[in-house]
Amino acid sequence: MADADFSSSGRGGSTTGFLGSVVLLTILASGVGALAGLYFTDTVRRAVNAESALMPAPAQPIYSTASRLRSLKPLVTNLSAPQDAWIRVQASIVLDETEIEDPVLLAGHIEEDILAYLRTITLAHVEGAAGLQHLREDLNERAIARSGGKVRELILESLVVQ
């Protein structure tokens, strides 16, 4: 019987020791997890703050609130070369209507000027991306010059060459 008491007391001691070590490891793992969580949270917070410091301020509007978009009539004419090539341009202008007495009259003058310019260009002038960019810049400069600087921009909506 003495052997039976000794073996049962050994099991009880090892079970208690096992449970104690499991509790101790659980507490230790919880502490390490909490510290790691705090460290990673702080690291992420510092990275987000550094990234937000590098971001530029929100862009300011390009045009004032008094600026309006006015569509021009579609313009259709033939090109100077080849004679059977036709071009159709649809555009809009951005202008400050508070400075302009008659925006409809100004739009008509700009349409006439664009039409006169389109009759002087050739098909080679509008070929490719570079040709389109040059045409857009030329039309934009002409609209600004024609309006005395009251037109802010001419926007090409569509361009068809046939």
- The larger pLDDT score, comparing residue 5 to residue 143, is at 143
**Angle 29-33-35 from CA coordinates, rounded to 5°:** 120
One CATH from 3.30.479.30, 3.30.450.40, 3.30.565.10, 3.30.2420.10 for 67-161: 3.30.479.30
Is the pLDDT higher at 108 or at 66?
108
What DSSP element (H or E) covers 151? Answer: strand 151-161
Please enumerate in sequence order all residues whose Cβ is within 8 A of that of 86, keeping only pairs 6 or more positions apart, or say none.
76, 77, 78, 79, 161, 162
Residue 6 has pLDDT above 70, yes or no: no
| pTM for the full predicted model | 0.61
pLDDT tens-digit map of 16-62: 989 999 999 999 999 999 999 999 999 999 999 998 888 887 777 77
pLDDT at 87: 94
Which position has the token pair 């259709």?
A: 76
Alpha helices in the chain (DSSP H): 2-54, 103-118, 128-147
Domain ranges of the chain: 1-55, 67-161
* Confidence grade of residue 130 (pLDDT, cut at 50, 70, 90): very high
